[in-house]
Amino acid sequence: MKELQSIEQYNSIINEKVILLFSAQWCPDCRVIEPFLSELEEEFAAYDFYYVDRDQFIDLCQQLDVFGIPSFIAFENSNELGRFVSKDRKTKEEIQQFIRGLKE
């Protein structure tokens, strides 16, 4: 998974077909999903996946109303396709269901 490096990069990549994972190193629920993230990337190869460090990009999180992690937001052509944003622990099946349900 690629890691977001700057706001300029964010402004560029949301023009592509991307899924942003908002997370943080200290987040225990974020650690729970790590073992299967690479499987999700393979299964949904039409999307580029980016890790967004919540602490490094707190202003972006506020701008996008991401107040709980782990959370996912999908973009294409600068339009939000969908979001799975909450403070709750997420299962692989819930994440797969979210991605399959994105507006194409």
Cα distances (Å, whole numbers) of residue 46 to 18, 20, 53, 82, 95:
8, 14, 23, 15, 15
> What confidence score (pLDDT) does residue 47 get?
97
Residues 35/66, Cβ–Cβ less than 8 Å? no
Q: Report yes or no on whether pTM surpasses 0.85.
A: yes
Residue with tokens 């052509």: 77
Phi, psi values for residue 14, rounded to 5°: -70, -10
With beta carbons less than 8 A apart as the criterion, state whether 52 and 87 touch.
no
Where do the domains of the chain lie, and which CATH numbers do they carry?
Answer: 2-100 (3.40.30.10)
- pLDDT digit string, tens, across residues 34-52: 999 999 999 999 999 999 9
Confidence of residue 104 (pLDDT cuts 50, 70, 90): low
Residues belonging to the active site: 27, 30
